[in-house]
Amino acid sequence: MEFDYYEILEISRDADAEVIKKAYRKLALKYHPDRNQGDKEAEEKFKLINEAYEVLSNSEKRDIYDKYGKDGLNSNGFSGFDSDFDLGDIFSSFFGGSFSSRSGGRRSSDKYNLDIETIVNLEFNEAVFGCEKEIKYSFKTPCQTCNGTGSKDGKKATCSHCAGRGKISHRQGFMSFVQTCPYCNGSGETIKEKCKDCGGNGFKQEEDSIKISIPEGVDTGTRIRVSGKGNKGLGGTGDLYVRVNVKDDDHFVRNGDDVYIEIPVFFTQAMLGETIKIPTLRGDADLRLPVGAKDKQQFIFENEGVKNAHTKKNGRLVVQIAINTPKKLTDEQKELLEKLQKSFGVKSGTTSEDGIFDKIKSWFK
């Protein structure tokens, strides 16, 4: 059975990131298995909520889902969703603490996340066609003086508050919570005297740069993973995630893989149905206007949009014309237009549909 992720989270299709997050928190709390023990229906609902949130909270996955549905996600390598969410993650978003209904061991020996993120700003054409960019970023590495312990002598003592467990139990009414020990931040260990080189942090900040290839078709919000270029820790090295931000173009407006542009057209060109030159992403093209083309009329050029980074298919170029009429006329131009008007049988001071006045008059008879 195919489920709609928006319906699962009970949100509209234009919901922003904050609305999605709030809806997820509310439903995850309601249907979490620890609150509905033995309820298989609640357990399945909870899995669907997590699956929906994993897709809709990720701009790249959401874009694919909106265009191609769940099949599009599977064909782009996004199959397999992680439904193992800890109730503590949800509580922490409300109360600022780290709560868990599960018994657990110590946290990682690293004091910081190994994965890091930085932002790269791209010009419109760089995002459309791809480019190479040199990225400067900073990362953490364990202090060599104290071997990442933060302690002057390189040794740590067992935390007396949690007895080395890294967690402290609390009971509130009928519910029992396990909170990360605030005295040792869940490590189960404390230091007596801080390392002077790192101030007790256990790490130092370093800077580096790397040249990366930006694939064509990326858009604002796209994340590019660079393996092994994140923070360095005692337990290994994380990844660097480069988040893309695309600057607006002066002429083209992008919506997904489609590109829009407005072209000024003089009124006589529209009346005569002339062929005009228009700019596209890949050079000029001819647009044959129909005789009597209308203001704001749109014309579609298939495969002239942005190449999708996943499907490798091009979007559309949508050209909208804006008909310009002169605001000032010479005597000669005015005379020519009056002659043209008479040639169409249009009398000065009336509309082209005189019958409308007779119709309105009949309303009052």
Task: Output the known binding site for Zn(2+).
Answer: 143, 146, 159, 162, 181, 184, 195, 198
User: Could you write out the DSSP letters of every residue in 53-76?
Assistant: HHHHTSHHHHHHHHHHHHHHHHHT
Quote the tokens at residue 234.
């005692």
Q: Does residue 76 contact residue 64 with C-beta atoms inside 8 Å?
A: yes
Binding-site residues from annotation: 143, 146, 159, 162, 181, 184, 195, 198
The Cα 43–Cα 39 span in angstroms is: 6
DSSP 286: E
Q: From residue 116, how far is each of 190, 245, 269, 333 by CA, in Å? A: 26, 17, 55, 66
Q: Does residue 31 contact residue 45 with C-beta atoms inside 8 Å?
A: yes
DSSP 115: -
Dihedral of CA atoms 64, 68, 70, 71 in degrees, nearest 10, equals: -120
| Crossing angle of helices 17-31 and 87-95, rounded to 10° | 120
